Amino acid sequence: MKRNPDNRDDNVARIQESIDGTMKNMREASSTIRATSSDKTRDELIAKNERREEALDGFRSEIKDEAEHLRNKKS
């Protein structure tokens, strides 16, 4: 099977979509945290949001790497 060439031109847009979705999920979880009376649910959602925050840091780092790649590609 023939592999597709590595096309990184749309990576920044795809990563940004992931950031937007993650932030939306964090907002929804925060609303649920405030509304729930279940300690278990609250603790689970707090833990998820902490992992999401770590993921956001990774996404931001990836965007910087991709932007650098695109700048070097144009040079």
Q: Is the separation of the CB atoms in 18 and 57 below 8 Å? A: no
| Residue 6 in domain | no
Question: What are the two backbone dihedrals, phi and then psi, of residue 7, each rounded to the nearest 5 degrees?
Answer: -115, 105
Task: Output the CA angle 13-46-56, nearest 5 degrees.
Answer: 20
| Residue 25 in domain | yes
Virtual torsion, Cα 64, 65, 69, 70, nearest 10 deg: -30
Residue numbers of the domain that contains 68: 18-74
Q: Is the pTM of this model over 0.85?
A: no
| Residue 68 in domain | yes
Per-residue pLDDT of the chain (75 residues), as tens digits, is 677 766 777 888 899 999 999 999 999 999 999 999 999 999 999 999 999 999 999 999 999 999 888 888 877
Q: Is the separation of the CB atoms in 56 and 22 below 8 Å? A: yes
Name the DSSP letter for residue 65: H
